[in-house]
Chains A and B, each alone.
Chain A
Amino acid sequence: MIQTLFGSLDEPEKKSIFDRMKQAVSRTRENLEQRIEGIIALTREVDEATLEELEQSLIASDLGVTTTEEILTTLRDHAKRQRIRDGAELRQLLKTEIKAILDQQDRPIRAVSGPQIILLVGVNGTGKTTTAGKLAAVYRSQGKSVLLCAADTFRAAAIEQLEVWSQRSGVELIKSKQGGDPTAVLFDAVQVAKKRNFDVVIVDTAGRLHTKGGLMAELDKMRRITQRLIVDAPHEVLLVMDATTGQNGLQQARLFTESAGVTGIVLTKLDGTAKGGIAVAIARELNLPVRYVGVGEKIEDLLPFDSEAFAESLLGGG
């Protein structure tokens, strides 16, 4: 399954990913669609009341008041200028607007010569360890040699958890003991990867709240240690965020970016009913692209992000 899904990461197999993304967020879509449909049935013209209802739909999807208002302002403006009168057109326009925000900053993953270092960071319990395991399988399926690094030495049984994932994905693990220095394990892992020419190192870090200065400084230190060993590393710092996250997600993204230099988002648990709309707010404010979405607890439940499918699924139609 994973083979067909991730035949190539750069050029995803359009159809299956699209379908799965769609399926994963279909609940989201149905909800929004129902609401929008309901609105549109009520009014034949696109009037202020319609837009107000649309506003509520977006807020209910966790886009946040500010982002919603800005999107709506643009939409209102365009709708007027283009004399949009029916709901389908308006929906299409809204979709384009949301997709544009998500695409704005979509830069490709930097190519490197040495091992590519990927750091997974985020607040507690979002799915970092699980994503590390899934991601290892993704790269493995592309024929890359992968090393997992257990840099969460704090949480109970975090190392054992990643160990299971390393077995599942058939990937080697570098670890130390609980209570050990996370920077030291990271250092070891990068050294090993350099010496033995691994293609990718995926680093699982301990969950931490962005408000804890000391713990955030630790991430900064980890980043610098990596840099010392490989000049342009870490190549990806992925902020793993739970799709149920509300407005606090924005502050998470801000502060993790400050300390850890986040390059992209992984939106997990999108198989639930939460919509992950905060990702739109983050993209808009911080220019951070969503790289992957988590859609379950199994190894194959990680998909590359497809803004088309996401926006499409959010709003339906097309």
Chain B
Amino acid sequence: MFENLSEKLQRAFKSLRGQGIITEENIGDALREIRVALLEADVNLNVVKELVEHIRIKAIGQEVLTALSPAEQVIKIVRDELMTLLGKDTARFQFASRPPTVILMAGLQGSGKTTTSGKLAAWLQKGGHRPMLVSVDVYRPAAREQLKVVAASIKASLYEGDLKGEAPGSALVERLAKEARREAVNSGCDTLIVDTAGRLHIDEDLMDEMQRLKTLLNPQEILFIADAMTGQDAVRSAEEFHKRLALTGVVLTKMDGDARGGAALSIRQVTGQPVKFIGTGEKPTAFEPFHPDRIVGRILGMGDIMTLIERAEETLDKKKSEDFAKKALSGDGFSLEDFRDQLRQIRKLGSLQSIMKMLPSVGPFQGIQQMADQVDEKQFVRVEAIINSMTPKERNHHEIISGNRRKRIARGSGTSVQEVNQLLRQYAQMRKMFKTAGKGGALQRRLMGTMGGMRGMGR
């Protein structure tokens, strides 16, 4: 569906062939493509304008190098520009000289504050800290109960407090916060994570409450928890929260989806504060320090290979993958049995579409991103059914699968002989392709090992 930015730029620069220098005139199309790519990634319009202007100034007058294509050259400028905006300082965390270090969680409704509170506590525990959690969300139904369940699941301390029948309101919020702080000191916890109710940046009363909480607690960190799927409005909410609270950092949640995450750029631009962490799932461990370089590739639609590799390494059975890679890339090739194993492993990673979209659309995986939209997930279920209907001997010696056997397999798997034929044909192609890839580079080999055989599958 999406044409990758680098492809668009290649096209935009067709006119540049034979010209030695990037000029105002010949960069016009490319700048438009960059603008669209950034907007499609949800980078705020004003931020886009500024970025494009910077890029234009940097690019004009540059000689067209022979080593890089003009498109590559411009992409490098774009990348550098985005990296500069995102900054290098990321996951540094401030601790109080006198404990407890207080971390205040702030953000709009449903952005992930409560979940992230738990993740942060787990992360601190891993770093040898003793965090305490408290929820001062006395408004949303079962909000405090939610944090309680989260705390229990990671065995972190929680200050529950007693509402004593007090009506929900700022007085109660402040009382709970004060008590929690005292409790943290008394029980020897060195950090206190304060989960707050979601609020709109235009809600005067609740924003006032947040400011009072800040005065009361004097937190070292005030984190803005933002949803990676946020669009143009991200600048407004972030700006207002920053104005009221002087944020110290940002956590970008729900990065396990396929949102491009342009909001990261917008928020960074209006607050000047670094994205410190990203949330990559609903579980307490799905939490990582932020890497600007990775999100840049993602915003530009150029794949997020590092994340893919990491996810693969976490989810997949490494030994199996390596064995597969070795076999597939060496002279013998892989069997249908190996192939089925590999298929099952891949499915653990998420939908094939989402995996394919993480691959860059240049180099060895050219075309895969585009194929992603045509992939029929159910086809993979059928492929597995077909292989399941084979005897172990057939799986390991595909050459014995005769016409009669094919009929039996089709019947057994509820598919057609054509489908069985097709699978066997694709299997043969893949075996060949992998052997060729065996001569490729290390990264390619590593990926091929984990991604086993996706390429031949899309129609």
**Bound complex: CA A60 to CA B39 (Å):** 9
* Contact indicator A246/B111 (Cβ below 8 Å): no
A125–B114 CA distance with the chains assembled, in angstroms: 11
A174: shortest Cβ distance to chain B, in Å?
17
Min C-beta distance of B248 to chain A, whole Å: 23
Let me know if A297 is at the binding interface, CB within 8 A. Answer: yes
- The CA of A245 and the CA of B257, in the complex, are separated in Å by 13
- Interface check A317, CB cutoff 8 A: no
Instruction: List, in ascending order, chain A residues with CB within 8 A of B230's CB.
Output: 244-246
| Cβ-defined contact, A164 with B257, below 8 A | no
Determine whether the beta carbon of A127 is less than 8 Å from that of B350: no
A275 nearest CB neighbor, chain B only:
B233
B146–A157 CB distance below 8 A: yes
* Residues in chain A near residue B237, CB distance under 8 A: 244, 272-273
Among B233, B260, B377, point to the contact of A213 (Cβ < 8 A). Answer: B377
Tell whether A247 is near chain B: CB-to-CB under 8 Å.
yes
Residue B149 CB within 8 A of the other chain = yes
Closest B-chain residue to A296, C-beta based? B200
In the bound complex, CA of A272 to CA of B237 (Å): 9
A136 to B403: give the CA distance in the assembly, Å: 59
CB-defined contacts of A44 to chain B, threshold 8 Å = none
Q: Cβ of A238 < 8 Å from any Cβ of B?
A: no
Q: Are A272 and B259 closer than 8 Å at their CB atoms?
A: no
Chain B residue, CB-CB nearest to A251: B258
Partner of B108, one of A163, A164, A244: A244
Contact A247 B146 (CB under 8 A): no
The one of B39, B45, B231 in contact with A274, judged by C-beta atoms closer than 8 angstroms, is B231
Chain A nearest CB from B185 CB (Å) reads 27
Chain A hits for B109, CB < 8 A: 125, 127, 269, 297
Q: How far is the CA of A246 from the CA of B233 in the complex (A)?
A: 8
A56 at the interface (CB under 8 A from B): yes
In contact, B233 and A211 (Cβ under 8 angstroms): no
CB contacts (< 8 Å) of A27 on chain B: these are 202
CB of A249 closer than 8 Å to a CB of B: yes
Do the beta carbons of B150 and A244 come within 8 Å of each other?
A: no
- Known A62-B231, A246-B229, A275-B233; judge A297-B257 contact (CB<8 A): no
Q: B34-49 vs A: 1/0 string, CB under 8 Å? A: 0010011110010000
| B227 contacts across to A, CB distance below 8 A | 125, 242, 244
* Alpha-carbon distance A164/B231, docked complex (angstroms): 31
| A60 B201 Cβ-Cβ under 8 A | no
Q: Which residues of A contact B111 (CB under 8 A)?
A: 125
A64 to B262, CA, bound (A): 13
Which among A123, A156, A271, A273 is the interface contact of B254 at CB below 8 angstroms? A123
How far is B150's CA from A266's CA once the two chains are assembled, in angstroms? 28
For A133-165 the 0/1 string (1 means CB < 8 A from B) is 000000000000000000000111110110111
Q: What does the 1/0 interface line of A206-244 toward B look like (CB < 8 Å)?
A: 000111111010000000000000000000000000101
| B61 contacts the other chain (CB 8 A) | no
Question: A124 vs B256: C-alpha distance in the bound complex, in angstroms?
Answer: 11
| A50 CB within 8 Å of chain B | no
- Asked whether B351 lies within 8 Å of A212 as measured between CB atoms, the reply is yes
> Is there contact, CB below 8 Å, between B200 and A211?
no
Assembled-state Cα–Cα distance A266/B183 (Å): 42
Binds A, one of B50-58, B74-82, B136-144, B438-446: B136-144
Query: Which residue on chain B has the smallest CB distance to residue A64?
Result: B40
Task: Give the shortest distance, in Å, between A258 (CB) and chain B (any CB).
Answer: 9
Q: Is A65 an interface residue (CB 8 A)?
A: yes
Asked whether, in the complex, the Cβ of A246 is within 8 Å of the Cβ of B259, the reply is yes
CA gap between A178 and B227 in the complex, in Å: 25
A156 to B152, CA, bound (A): 10
Question: Is B426 positioned at the interface, with any CB of A under 8 Å from its CB?
Answer: no
* A246 and B232 within 8 A (CB): yes
B347 at the A interface (CB under 8 A): yes
Q: Let me know if A248 is at the binding interface, CB within 8 A.
A: yes
When distances are taken between beta carbons in the complex, the residues of chain B under 8 Å from A126 are 110
Residues on B with beta carbons closer than 8 Å to the beta carbon of A164: 141-142
Q: In the complex, are the beta carbons of B202 and A157 less than 8 A apart?
A: no
Q: How far is the CA of A68 from the CA of B350 in the complex (A)?
A: 32
> Are B233 and A62 touching (Cβ within 8 A)?
yes
A242 to B259, CA, bound (A): 14
Rounded to whole Å, the gap between the CB of A100 and the closest CB of chain B is: 23
The residue from B40, B41, B112, B350 contacting A211, defined by CB atoms under 8 A apart: B350
Give chain B residues whose Cβ lies under 8 Å from the Cβ of A165. Answer: 141
Output the least CB separation between A269 and chain B (Å).
6
Inter-chain contacts of B114 with A (CB < 8 A)? 156
Nearest-Cβ distance from residue B161 to partner chain A, whole angstroms: 16
Chain A residues with CB below 8 A from B149, complex form: 156-157, 178
- Other-chain contact of A209, B40, B232, B257 (Cβ < 8 Å): B257
The interface bits of chain B over 139-162 (1 if a CB of A lies within 8 angstroms of the residue's CB, else 0) are 111110111111001000000000
Beta-carbon nearest neighbor of A61 in chain B: B232
Whether the Cβ atoms of B40 and A247 lie closer than 8 Å is yes
Complex: how many Å from CA A278 to CA B256? Answer: 21
The smallest C-beta distance from B173 to any residue of chain A, in angstroms, reads 16
Tell me the minimal C-beta distance from A170 to chain B in angstroms: 15
CB-contacts of B204-254 with A (<8 A): 227, 229-234, 236-237, 254
A246 contacts B146, CB within 8 Å? no
Residues from chain B with a CB closer than 8 A to the CB of A251 are: 258
Q: Shortest 8 CB-CB distances between A and B: which pairs?
A: A246-B231, A125-B110, A213-B351, A164-B141, A246-B42, A156-B149, A274-B233, A157-B146
- List A residues at the B interface (Cβ < 8 Å): 27, 56, 59-62, 64-65, 123-127, 154-158, 160-161, 163-165, 178, 209-214, 216, 242, 244-249, 251-252, 269, 271-275, 278, 297
Sampled A-B contacts (28; CB under 8 Å): A27-B202, A59-B39, A125-B110, A125-B111, A156-B145, A157-B143, A157-B145, A157-B149, A160-B142, A163-B142, A164-B141, A211-B257, A211-B351, A212-B256, A212-B350, A213-B352, A213-B354, A213-B377, A244-B233, A245-B230, A248-B42, A248-B229, A248-B258, A249-B229, A252-B229, A269-B110, A273-B200, A297-B140
